Structure 1
Amino acid sequence: MTMPRIVAHPDRPYVGVLRTITMTTFGEVADRIPELIAWLGRQGLALAGAPFLRYRVIETAADRLEVEAGVPIARPVDGSLAEEAGFFAAALPAGRYATVTHHGHPDRLAGVIGDLLAWADKEGLTWDLAERDGVERWGCRLELYETDPRVEPDPANWDTTLEFRLA
């Protein structure tokens, strides 16, 4: 894991799909990333960064998550065009993000997330997060998948960047 740092981002357009899942049904959203990339290719749109998962709602006790799979693009796309394909067009919000990169299997991200949360707490940082009755609603909490699994099939060699928006 690299040392956490703070970066500033402008709005970043993307195309995505949203699903309500559990910890055991992640594939229902994550497995849509290749479909999103293929659709963008058919539209003549290039990726403008790493595909990601965006965690909107985390309700640990109920094992319920609202998660988007998304692919960043250089310029906004017509929302109705995306909707026809079963996707949506949106933008990740501008702002300051705490970020860290993990090299290794994505199954080990829980520890990296814990370390990032602890670092931010120690630094006195506040997340773009509303929490009530055990339900976390994140303004923008991302896992960016930097490694193309077609090029590097071994998950132990993958790089994943976490970006959590600050309040």
Structure 2
Amino acid sequence: MTSQTPVTPVIEERAVQPYVGIRRTVTMGTIGEATDALSDLFGWLAAQGITPAGPDFLRYHVIDMARELEVEAGVPVPADAQITVETPMRTGVLPAGRYLTTTHVGDPDELVAVTGAFLEWAERNGLRWDVSDTAAGERWGCRLEIFHLGPDDDPDRSTWQTQLAFRLAD
């Protein structure tokens, strides 16, 4: 079955990006718990006097759609920032490399269909993801939903911009 959702993918080189994040194990029904962590991260960064180095994101580490997802809410930080985090926060680095990206403008509830169309497009074009199958599910090298515009920018959900950026295999 082919998706009818249009996507316009682009391959881009991304540099290494340090970040602060909070990792959660969730289900599709409780994924909001991961996004709720973003307000905690922004508040903590502000209290430390650190300005985010880019838009916030969700990073999907392990995906088993029928059971659990290991998801991390993250905020990029400057490379030279001196950061000592408090539990449950952690520091990490988004890996450099080639990423297939597409940007969706519209309601975030549409992202499941957009992601499906994105994955189908890559398969049709012979691209391989940085992903491996494990007993816990698909383990991704780096699979991101990056939130460029959202509820803090405009309450109209049809204007929100979310970029998908999935790392390609080397």
- Normalising to structure 1: TM-score of the pair? 0.91
| Superimposed CA distance per residue, residues 120-153 of structure 1 (whole angstroms, 9 cap, x where no aligned partner) | 1122111000024682111100000111412211
Which ranges in structure 2 are unaligned for 5 or more consecutive residues? 1-5
Equivalence for 1:28? 33
Runs of 4 or more off by more than 2 Å in structure 1?
76-79
1:163 counterpart (141, 162, 165): 165
- 1:16 aligned partner: 21
SS at match of 1:32: helix
User: What percent of counterpart residues are identical?
Assistant: 47
Q: Which amino acid aligns with 1:58?
A: I
Once the two structures are superposed, the pairs formed by residues 49-64 of structure 1 within 5 Å of their partners are: 49-62=54-67, 64=68
Task: Assess if the C-alpha contact under 8 Å between 2:132 and 2:139 holds in 1.
Answer: yes
What's 1:47 paired with? 52
Match among 147, 151, 154 for residue 153 of structure 2: 151
After superposition, the Cα gap between the structure-2 partners of 1:48 and 1:141, relative to the gap in structure 1 and judged at 3 Å, is same
Aligned residue pairs, count: 164
**Which letter maps to 1:105?**
D
Q: Secondary structure at the match of 1:40?
A: helix
Q: Which residue of 2 aligns with 1:142?
A: 144
Please tell me whether the aligned partners of residues 62 and 140 of structure 2 are also in contact (alpha carbons under 8 angstroms). Answer: yes
C-alpha RMSD of the superposition? 1.6
Which residue in the other structure is 1:70 paired with?
74
Q: State whether residues 103 and 160 of structure 1, in contact with CA within 8 Å, keep that contact through their aligned partners in structure 2.
A: yes
Q: 1:87 to 1:77 in 2, by over 3 A?
A: farther
Q: Which structure 1 residue ranges, 5 or more long, are not aligned?
A: none
Supply the distance in 2 between the matched residues of 1:133 and 1:98 (Cα, whole angstroms): 26
The answer to whether the 8 Å contact 1:76/1:90 transfers is no
Q: Aligned letter for 2:55? A: A
C-alpha distance after superposition, 1:48-97 (max 9, x if no partner): 111000001111222x1000000011225455x21x25311111001100
